[in-house]
Structure 1
Amino acid sequence: MLESYRTIYKGREGEIVEKKSRFIATVRLVESEEEALSFIEEMRKKYWDARHNCYAYTIGSNRELTRCSDDGEPSGTAGRPMLDVLLGENLYNTAVVVTRYFGGVLLGTGGLVRAYSAAVQEGLRASTVIEKVRGIVLSVTTDYTGIGKLQYIAGERGLPILESEYTDKVVLKLLVPFAQKEAVQKAITESSNGRAIMEKEREVYFAEADGEVKVFEY
């Protein structure tokens, strides 16, 4: 399981024009090959009158599902350059379809490679790319004398507080990067002299998007 990875939060369209040919790149988050194939078919139906709908996608923590297609363009001039952009950006679980409306001027193999690559880059610029970090939701129960130290640890380490509950005790649910969990638990134990009760609720991925922290279940 990856400790962190880059992927799409919001996929959008980007477009370039090269010698009167339109290249429309549509980017989408896909987490299975079924989703990828459904997305490709959706784009083919949407742009049914286009000369080409070329695609590339990479899925899985080991990129075990990585495919691309030139869709009638000369071999190696569309799908592979598109895939190279996704891999070069270190993206996971991402698919892109580039639709070409032929403008009547031949671009040559080099021109096609550059155009399809540039279209994908434009699509990615229009999209929201995030880095998901593996973490845990840590529930910490303490008394009121320990809340200040707990909040200090969270603030010092940049740990988001997902929930807080104040009754006769205080319960805070912290979002802790997996790589920091032992250090955080040790710091909480030491600051509370062992009185704080900690429980790992679940493992998640989280990322900052739209100015706030988003939690993604496995």
Structure 2
Amino acid sequence: MPQTIHTPVHHELIIKKSRFIACVQPMPDRAGAQKVVAALRAEHPGAAHVCWALLAGGQSAAVDDGEPSGTAGRPMLDVLRHQDLDGVLATVVRYFGGVKLGAGGLVRAYTDSVAQALLKADKIAIIRQRLLHCAVPYPLEGLVRRELELAGATLEQVEHADQVGFAFRMPVDKADPLIARLNEAGSGRVAWIDEAPAAPR
């Protein structure tokens, strides 16, 4: 099951006089990640590199920021992938200590920086949610409310018009059984409207 992290965590390594200052933090998209990276550049004007990796669905990224290609961003991203994380940004600020580490040494340094920070991270499971809409005759309103409560659904909106409209979200794996129960209990009088695809919550 994919996980994210609750709050930012930091870790610092010194390898052959180079400082590697790592941070992993929750991050939903690339725009937010770029703001964080820009702030780090401003905060560390003397740093040689600010490398980063983002694992956030279709907005993932791996940036070497001047390190040899594939020695920083990609290894950092691989650590996030290996731990089945999503919605997480890893950054490593490097202050060059005067001793070259070589490609293998750089990969190890960036991998270890992120992996050590993640050891301290408070991870939380990502439960995929599904947003559902239905409309029912007024006599069925109480039944639907009871079923939603029993299923642990989150009621987002109720509209009273010609019929009672419900918008609610719930874990993906519990949605189909609830739809089946409501269809059976409502004897075909539950109308399902423009179902949305599964979305992270």
Range class of TM-score, shorter chain? 0.5 to 0.7
After superposition, the C-alpha distances for 1:11-70 in whole angstroms (9 at most, x for unaligned) are 6241233457352325452534x6554543332222112233222234553x7x643316
- Which structure is higher in strand share? 1
Contact preservation (8 Å) 1:135, 1:203: yes
TM-score, structure 2 normalization: 0.66
| 1:97 has 2:91 as partner | yes
2:13 aligned partner, one-letter code:
V
Aligned AA for 2:186? S
Aligned-partner Cα distance in 2 for 1:102–1:129: 34
* Matched length: 198
Task: Give TM-score scaled by structure 1 length.
Answer: 0.62
Q: Which residue of 1 aligns with 2:184?
A: 190
SS of the equivalent of 1:205 reads coil
**Which of 5, 27, 33 is equivalent to 1:29?**
27
1:150–1:28 CA distance, 2 compared to 1 (3 A) = closer
- Unmatched segments (≥5 aa) in structure 2: none
**Kept after mapping to 1: 8 A contact 2:52/2:89:** yes
Which whole-Å CA distance do the structure 2 matches of 1:204 and 1:75 have between them?
A: 36
Match of 1:85 in 2: 79
Residue deviations 1:99-155, cap 9 Å, x none?
1345678877666544422332355554765525251232343535652x4344334
CA RMSD of aligned residues (A): 4.2
- Equivalent of 1:121, from 97, 115, 122? 115
* Matched residue, 1:48: 45
Does the CA-based 8 Å contact 1:16-1:118 persist in structure 2?
A: no
SS in 1 for 2:188: coil
- How far is 1:206 from its partner? 4.2
Q: Could you tell which deviates more after superposition, 100-109 or 36-45?
A: 100-109
Q: Contact (CA 8 Å) 1:55, 1:69: kept in 2 or not?
A: yes
Indicate how the Cα distance of structure 1 residues 126 and 200 shifts in structure 2: closer, same or farther if over 3 A, else same: same
Q: Secondary structure at the match of 1:48?
A: coil
Per the alignment, residue 132 of structure 2 pairs with: 137
**Equivalent residue, structure 2, for 1:216:** none
Letter in 2 for 1:162: E
- d(CA) in 2 for partners of 1:174, 1:200: 13
**Measured at CA, do residues 81 and 202 of structure 1 come closer, stay the same or move farther in structure 2, by a change above 3 Å?**
closer
Instruction: Give the counterpart letter for 1:47 in structure 2.
Output: H
